[in-house]
Chains A and B, each alone.
Chain A
Amino acid sequence: MLDTDFFRRWMAATAAAVGREADRLTELDAAIGDADHGSNMRRGFAAVDEVLEKEGPTAPGDVLTLAGRQLISTVGGASGPLYGTLLRRTGKALGDAQEVTADQLADALGAGVAAVAQLGGAQAGDKTMLDALLPAVEVLGTSFVEARDAALAGALATVPLRARKGRASYLGERSIGHQDPGAASAALLVGALAEASGTSGGGDA
């Protein structure tokens, strides 16, 4: 079972990962976007850390709802409302249960991903964060490590795609050959799940 503490660890591991990888995310964004994804994500998740520390939510759903709201109000770029909606909607789907199963989390995250797709009007193959999230959600109930690998593979698979959403879509053909920064950060979020559950160790990737 996954308790509130697990969800706190997930958010903390995500904050650490986007902090560690901020330069890489910004470099990816510099190629096809406006070169702020790394700093936006780092600022957003640092603010999530702070608000969770300050408010001390007591249920898994509350952790994610609070985190999502914080991202929307602090990021300032498109990743704020997109990741904010993802976490907030996932948190709402978890309700006020004190503990949830991996299957329940997979279902809830599926609802969150659907909300992101609706908000941005994107679908699989548009070279967005969905290309990492959709394959991850499919296997999340089975294993967080599999989900992490699926998200990473999905992010890498955005390289040959042509962007159809966001600023990168203005580049048309020239967006081909670059990994989507949103898919890259989404893979970090999913990877942090495996880390939070202590199953990422051992260099099995």
Chain B
Amino acid sequence: MSGEKQVGIVLVSHSGPVAKAVAELARGLAAGGATAPVAAAGGTSAGGLGTSAELIAEAARAVDGGAGIALLVDLGSAVLTVKSMLAEGGELPGGARLVDAPFVEGAVAALVTASAGGDLDAVEAAATDAYGYRKA
């Protein structure tokens, strides 16, 4: 757990700006120093609202350090696109996993955990746990 190999995080949203901003937020809240790799894959390749398999694959390759990749998604086509890419095999690096988590809170929890050297199971558990935090 020396931080040599960290889990990568991919944030898939319908909106490019949302994915980017959540990545920024997670980085800002995760730590003072360097964090685990996190990449945004928001919107379509043309910059519209939607989901792009191409951008997702690119982001996954960018954060792949060999310790696994946690993909967090917002809704609708983001969920379905990642699921169908995982079902195909070969479209995402090995060790990529869809993590069932609230998008914003899960991203923060996942990045904190990954930056601390947690493995993919730990990252997934932390992100999913974020569902349990009640606000009212």
The residues of A with any CB-CB pair to B shorter than 8 Å are 36, 69, 72-73, 75-78, 80-82, 84-85, 88, 115, 119-120, 166-167
Contact = CB atoms under 8 A, between A and B. Distances in A.
Interface of B: 44, 48, 50-54, 76-77, 80-81, 83-85, 87-88
A194 B84 CA distance: 28
B83 A81 contact: yes
7 nearest CB pairs, A to B: A76-B50, A81-B80, A81-B84, A78-B77, A76-B44, A73-B53, A81-B81
Contacts of B48: 76
A36, A72, A115, A120: which has the most chain B beta carbons within 10 Å?
A: A72
Given A72-B84, A76-B44, A85-B87, A166 B53 contact: no
Do most interface residues of chain A lie in helix, strand or loop, or is the interface mixed?
helix
B88 A81 contact: no
Contact of A167 (B51, B76, B87): B76
A119 B53 contact: no
A23 to B, nearest CB: 19
A85 B80 CA distance: 10
B53 A82 contact: no
18 contacts: A72-B85, A73-B54, A76-B52, A76-B77, A77-B51, A77-B77, A78-B76, A78-B77, A80-B51, A80-B81, A84-B84, A85-B84, A85-B87, A88-B88, A119-B80, A119-B83, A119-B84, A119-B87
Given A75-B77, A77-B77, A78-B80, 5 more contacts: A76-B44, A76-B51, A81-B80, A81-B84, A119-B84
B60 to A, nearest CB: 14
A81 B54 contact: no
Contacts of B83: 81, 119
Contact of A120 (B50, B53, B80, B81): B80
Contacts of B80: 78, 80-82, 119-120
Contacts of A167: 76
A78 B51 CA distance: 8
A80 B84 CA distance: 10
Nearest to B48: A76
A77 B51 CA distance: 6
Contacts of B51: 76-77, 80
B49 to A, nearest CB: 8
B53 A72 contact: yes
A72 B55 CA distance: 12
A82 B79 CA distance: 11
